[in-house]
Amino acid sequence: MHRGGNALKHDRWNIEPAIFWPTILIFAAVSVGLFVGGDTLFTVLSSLLQTLTTRLGWVYLWIYIINFIFLGWLAFSKYGSIKFGAPDEKPEYSNFSWTCMVFTTGIDASIMIMSLFEPIQYVSAPPFGLEPFSAEAYDYAHMYGQFHWGPSAWTMYIPATIAIAYTLFVKRTDTTRISNACVPASGWLERHLWARHLLDVIIVFGIMGGIDASIGLEIPVISRIFHQLTGVADTLGLKFIMLAALLVLFGSCVYLGLEKGMKWLSSATVYITLGFLVVTLLWGPTSYLIDAETNSIGLLASNFVRMSTYTDPHLASGFPQNWTIFYWGWWLAYMPVMGLFVARISRGRTIRQVICGQVLWGSVGCMTVFGIMGGYALYVQRTGIVDLAGILATEGQEAAITALLSTLPLPQLMLVVYLISCFVFLATTISSSAYILSSMTSKKLSGYENPARWNRLLWSVVFMLFSAGIMVVGGMETIKLVCVLAGFPLIAVVLLLMRSIRRMVKTHADPSFPSASRSEPNALTAEHTSS
């Protein structure tokens, strides 16, 4: 067991050069390109996004369908009882702490932002050829965000979780890299170290794309609310100051480590967010919000398959391309972070507990936020209190969100609470992401050890620089492109992970079951000698 003082021995110069340096150089080059590209780069990115979503959108839809079916089989098969760790090992974290860390890491502050303006965009340009602002458009607008943040999204995080947790706590290998968890799927990966390193570089690039898109979305909103509260001009300089403050906050969390930093931040985030939701529910149109959510649950259940396969080939409205495929790319980009992080905190749990826990509590949490916040936004629009659709079209999402929050009781106080919630939410997610990226770029690291502190802090700085470049280019289109592009290469990774999981669990239950190579366990030991 690698416990106690042994966890500190890797807080030193411990990196895998073949992964660490290429990714650092790639992101340095991309960041410079974003800073100097300007309007020309924005035009190119918009055109590329259009091409990718219209021609290859079906690929994103099908990988989610396949993954959903696979995990359903795995959870309710005999393999669902396989435990990550010794048969008598107890979970490292309580159910509440585990759920808090999973939820806050998986969604970040994006849900506090998207849940407010996304339903307004849906009702303005609804799916399925519905008339804008019709009663049916309002029904689907309230429900559709819950589909995008619901079971399909949360199942996408799980293949990496299971593969890594099995590798760490059942096989007891000293590696936290997804490439090594993919080895059982392919003998070719086992034989070629360079191929595993290349796979890890691609994965790190996907992680960075997903996380930095989140920062690029959220910092402008935080900056606008800060301007509303203080009167300080909402300039690019203020946004950079927000980035610096964020760096200090989650840099401190990263330095403290998983137990002290992440556990405290995630719990604090949940309590702050719950408080904000309760106030909105009780002081807002309570009956309307409950009725609308009840209606949305039924609508989601009856239209789940339709929305999962919706490409709109005839009307060509662009709705699934602009929203569903964007989200599926975003969740794919987040998949390695969530997989590695949840695996790291899931020792002592079974496969079934991890799958059901993530899908159930993640979906319930997101549906609650969208049900209350999105429902309130639609109520304000429908009753004419504020023309959010008009503000969104003319002034942007930051102005629309600020206008909506100003309609709540004690608006100044609610703006402060919302600002704190978003800030801490974002810090939690980025802290865990920096922790995971430093783990992936470490040379040798077991599930009982922490990556070097300097490595964790360095990735925090890289996050900030890349995010600053995204904000310079600006626009929701840029964010969507980053997510879609970052997620695309990870489709192949998901397929490898599913094949790897199948081989590992079948071999676990029946050692005679043929693996990719009978010498597979030695592949990892050759690269990472177990301590």
Where in the chain are the domains? 14-527
Q: What is the pLDDT of residues 246-272, one digit of tens each?
A: 777 766 665 555 455 556 666 677 788
Average pLDDT, stretch 65-79?
97
Look up the CATH architecture of domain 14-527.
Up-down Bundle (1.20)
Provide the 8-state DSSP code for 89.
P
Lowest mean pLDDT among 203-217, 294-308, 324-338, 423-437: 423-437
The values of phi and psi at residue 83, to 5°, are -100, 140
Distance CA 296, CA 308 (A): 16
C-beta separation of 242 from 225 below 8 A: no
pLDDT of 126 higher than 90: yes
Q: What is the mean pLDDT of the chain?
A: 84
| Structure confidence at residue 8 as a pLDDT band (50, 70, 90) | very low
- Residue 255's pLDDT is what? 59
Q: What is the pLDDT of residues 462-514, one digit of tens each?
A: 878 888 887 877 667 778 888 888 889 999 999 999 999 999 999 988 776 66
Output the CA torsion sign for 225, 145, 394, 382.
negative
Distance CA 454, CA 254 (A): 10
- Residue 5's pLDDT is what? 39
pLDDT of 1 higher than 50: no
Distance CA 157, CA 173 (A): 22
Strand-pair partners of 350? 83
Q: Which residue has the higher pLDDT, 163 or 267?
A: 163
- Residue 519's pLDDT is what? 41
Q: Which residue has the higher pLDDT, 118 or 418?
A: 118
Query: How large a percentage of the chain has pLDDT more than 70?
Result: 87
- Residue 31's pLDDT is what? 79
C-beta separation of 444 from 14 below 8 A: yes
Burial 442-469 (b: 16+ CB within 10 A, else e): bbbbbbbbbbbbebbbbbbebbbbbbbb
- Residue 522's pLDDT is what? 44
- Residue 102's pLDDT is what? 86
Average pLDDT, stretch 42-53?
77
C-beta separation of 339 from 158 below 8 A: yes
pTM greater than the 0.85 cutoff: yes
- Residue 130's pLDDT is what? 97
Average pLDDT, stretch 103-115?
81
From its phi and psi, is residue 177 left (phi > 0), alpha (psi between -120 and 50) or beta? beta
Q: Which long-range contacts (CB under 8 A, 24 or more apart) does 394-400 make?
A: 397/113, 397/117, 397/221, 397/476, 398/220, 398/221, 398/223, 398/224, 398/234, 399/224, 400/116, 400/117, 400/120
E strands along 408-447, which residues? none
